[in-house]
């Protein structure tokens, strides 16, 4: 059963797109409306299942989000690319 999707705030989306750089990827969590921008390094760390201890604390949350995106079988996360 598919859950109802929450609308994304346009200002959040615009802010994230404006911040995008060449090696970043932006995703929307369609269940919460949250917008995430992750670096290629953070996605690679999740793909390679690298230990969190290898990264500074400020980056660990994004790696966890990258894990959730990679494991997303319900299509909750929408890739903006």
Average pLDDT for the chain: 86
What number is the average pLDDT over the span 45-70? 93
DSSP 5-69: PPPPPHHHHHHHHHH--TTEEEEEETTT--EEEEEHHHHHHHHTT--GGGS-HHHHHHHHHHHHH
Chain centroid offset of residue 57 CA: 17
Q: How confident is the model at residue 18 (pLDDT cuts 50, 70, 90)?
A: low
What number is the average pLDDT over the span 1-12? 71
pLDDT reported for residue 54: 87
- Residues 22-56: pLDDT tens digits? 678 889 999 999 989 999 999 999 999 999 888 99
């Amino acid at each position: 059963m598919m859950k109802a999707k929450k609308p994304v705030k346009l200002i959040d989306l615009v802010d994230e797109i404006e911040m995008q750089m060449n090696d970043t990827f932006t995703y929307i969590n369609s269940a919460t409306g949250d917008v995430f921008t992750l670096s290629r390094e953070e996605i690679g760390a999740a793909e390679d299942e690298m230990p969190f201890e290898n990264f500074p604390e400020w980056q660990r949350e994004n790696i966890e989000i990258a894990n959730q995106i990679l494991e997303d079988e319900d299509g909750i996360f929408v890739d903006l690319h």
